[in-house]
Amino acid sequence: MNTERKGKKRRGVEQVQARWGWYFVIPAIVFFSIFSFYPIINAFTLSFFKKNMISPIPPRFIGLENYIYVLQSSDFWNSVRATLTFTLGTFIPLVIASLVIALLITLQGRNFRLWQLLYYSPAVLSSAVAALIWMLIFTPTGIANQFVNTLRNTSGMDMRWLSSGEMVQISTMIVYFWKYIGYFTVLYITGITKIPAVIYEAATIDGASRSQAFFKITLPLLKPTTALVSIVAMLQCLKTFSTQFLFTQSGAPKAPINVITLNIYNTALKDYNVGRASVMSILLFVTMLILTIIQLKVSRSDDVTY
């Protein structure tokens, strides 16, 4: 064997290896073509066609008709409003609260792991389970009402968490906030621990006080992490589905929490209107693509901070 190998030209070995390199990526090329590229191209083309999900009639080209219909329908704009309300109402509190908790955990400097695990634990549950637990907490006799009544020193007041249009929006935000607070806290802690000790040492030598070090070093150096966490949180909120789905299936009013993914799902699988569902998919895709590109830019600038 050895002598045979030595006899071969170096180039021949490289060619053999290049071929193996190709063999190893073939499964990936096949997989991503079928389950990523074909569907996204298909979503784009189908948005110009009239197509019923279950009828055998082939799709009929109708130009921009789907786009015009969707952009003029109040149902779509209600979904945009619901999604934006949810996203803003969820990701801003999430970012602020996870920053505060991460700072508190690192400032007290002990038992990092234990604190992280405590806060992370809701993220372990599946979204359907999380929504189910909160559905019972939000019932008229549930502990959410009892908690509010204790705080306000009232009795028997019903906040109508799941039945009033305004409250049900807040309820979905609370579920999401609860589930993901630990996740973003962990991201922040990673960002805080990345700040090199040398910077603090230099500041201490220059006579900076602890609070000065905190306000002049820690907070400003967390800007890139904050940008990253914000966009990751925003992207996740735009995709929210499970809580809204479970709540509406169990009788909560649909219109206030009819987020865009829920609308796509219902348009495609209840109304069988593939074309209109595709239009909404493409609009969501473009929105998220822009945010992702911003995210990539932000995380790249992350590297040159220190």
Partner 1 sequence: MMSKAISPGASKLQFSLGIDIIIRILLLLFAVIILVPLVFMVTASFMPSSEITHMPYRWIPSRIAWNNFYRALAGNDGSFVYIRNILNSLFVSVTVAFTTVILSSITGYSLAKFNFKGKHIVFMGIMMTMMIPFETIMVPMYMVALKLGMQNSYQGLIVPFMMNAFGVFLMRQYLQTFPKDIMDAARIDGCSEPKIFRSIVFVNSGPAIASLAILTFRQQWDNLMWPLMIAQDKKFKTIPTYIVSFAEEKLSDEGAMMAAALIASIPVIIMFLTLSKYFVGGSSVYSSGKE
| Footprint (CB under 8 A) of partner 1, residues 118-137 | 118-130, 132-137
Site residues for partner 1, 21-50, by CB under 8 A, read: 21-25, 27-29, 31-32, 34-40, 42-43, 46
Closest contact distance (angstroms) between CB of 193 and partner 1 is 4
Which residues inside 49-108 make contact with partner 1, applying CB under 8 A? 53, 101, 104-108
Q: Write down the least CB distance from residue 95 to partner 1, Å.
A: 13
User: Element (H or E) spanning 187, and its range?
Assistant: helix 165-193
Range 218-237, binding partner 1 (CB under 8 A): 218, 228-229, 232, 235
Of the candidates 278, 232, 302, 290, the one whose C-alpha atom is nearest the C-alpha of residue 52 is 278
Provide the minimum distance between the beta carbon of 29 and partner 1 in the complex, in angstroms, as a whole number.
7
- Of 73, 154, 239, 271, the one binding partner 1 (CB under 8 A) is 239
H/E stretch holding 49? strand 49-50
Question: Measured between alpha carbons, how far is 279 from 182 in angstroms, rounded to an integer?
Answer: 35
Buried b (16+ CB within 10 A) or exposed e, 94-114: bbeebbebbbebbeeeeeeee
Sequence-distant (≥ 6) Cβ neighbours of residue 91 within 8 angstroms? 230, 233, 234, 236, 237
Nearest distance in Å: CB 108, partner 1 = 5
User: How far apart are alpha carbons 8 and 49 in whole angstroms?
Assistant: 57
Distance CA 180, CA 182 (A): 5
| 264 touches partner 1 by CB under 8 A | yes
Q: How far is the CB of 186 from partner 1 (least distance, A)?
A: 5
- Footprint of partner 1 on 188-217 (CB under 8 A): 189-193, 195-197, 199-201, 204, 210, 213-214, 217
* Segment lying near partner 1 (by CB under 8 A), choices 65-73, 76-84, 85-93, 298-306: 298-306
Q: Which amino acid is at 44?
A: F
Task: Let me know if 214 is exposed, middle or buried by CB neighbors in 10 A (0-12, 13-18, 19+).
Answer: middle
CB of 117 to partner 1, least distance (A): 6
Q: Which is nearer to partner 1, 73 or 141 (CB)?
A: 141
